Structure 1
Amino acid sequence: MIVRELNTALPWYRSLLGDPDLTPMEGVAEWKIADNAWVQVSEELERAGGSNVILQVDDIEAARREVDEKGITTGEIADYGFVRVLDLSDPDGNRVSLVQDA
């Protein structure tokens, strides 16, 4: 995920993912979300706001309640028959989609 300023974006990502597992260099934070999967947030003013990531959840209704309780703005859960999707946007407009298989 590419953001304008990491220090501005970090509170949002901490609310969603907790504290970063790594900060390998200035302007970069990383979260280990599975044994072989990471989410990286990095600072690059010119490219900020166009990233997407999809995170699978077991219970999308519970995930929505959890992010709502953390103050993260959500939209409606979209049901496509084979998958249900809840889109979130970080302060730079990057999209984080929470998905549950139907």
Structure 2
Amino acid sequence: MALDMYAGIPVTDHATALGWYQRLLGSPSYVASDTEAVWELGEHRSIFIELRPEQAGHAMHTIIVDDLDELVAQIAERGLDAIERETYSNGVRKAIYRDPDESEIQFGGAPL
């Protein structure tokens, strides 16, 4: 079975959110409209922001990456720092970011 993922994040201010997500994820893969931007994270896996003020602030997404430290360093170079970092008893780690609307984006990685 083929599987695609297109995960959305509602935002209250598209311009502010676009700037923040560019610092988090880099340049969008494409801008679908003046109220929606899309980042392709991998083949058939995308995340998007869309102007939907009444729903903003409730998204929670976790993205698992091969090299968490490298990604966190790249994000820091673009001007964002994780608000929190955690390590679970099994060694799995995560870095947590919150957008201007308080939606939470987490990046997780395997133990070192």
- TM-score under structure 1 length normalisation: 0.88
2:21 aligns with: 13
Post-superposition shift, 1:18?
A: 1.8
Letter of the 2:28 partner, please give it.
P
Whether 1:100 and 2:109 are equivalent positions in the alignment is yes
Post-superposition shift, 1:40?
A: 0.9
Whose strand proportion is higher, 1 or 2?
2
Matches of residues 1-102 of structure 1 in structure 2 within 5 Å? Answer: 1-80=9-88, 81-102=90-111
Post-superposition shift, 1:82?
A: 5.0
Q: Once superposed, what is the RMSD of the aligned Cα atoms? A: 1.5
Count of aligned residue pairs for this structure pair: 102
Q: Aligned partners of 1:17, 1:61: CA distance in 2, in Å?
A: 15
Which residues of structure 1 form unaligned runs of 5+?
A: none
Letter of the 2:25 partner, please give it.
L
Letter of the 1:41 partner, please give it.
I
Q: Aligned partners of 2:83, 2:55: CA distance in 1, in Å?
A: 25
Which string of whole-angstrom CA distances, capped at 9 and with x for unpartnered residues, describes residues 36-90 of structure 1? Answer: 1000100111111110121222222222222222221313421112521110011
Post-superposition shift, 1:26?
A: 2.9
- TM-score under structure 2 length normalisation: 0.81
Which residues of structure 2 form unaligned runs of 5+?
A: 1-8
Q: Percent identity?
A: 26
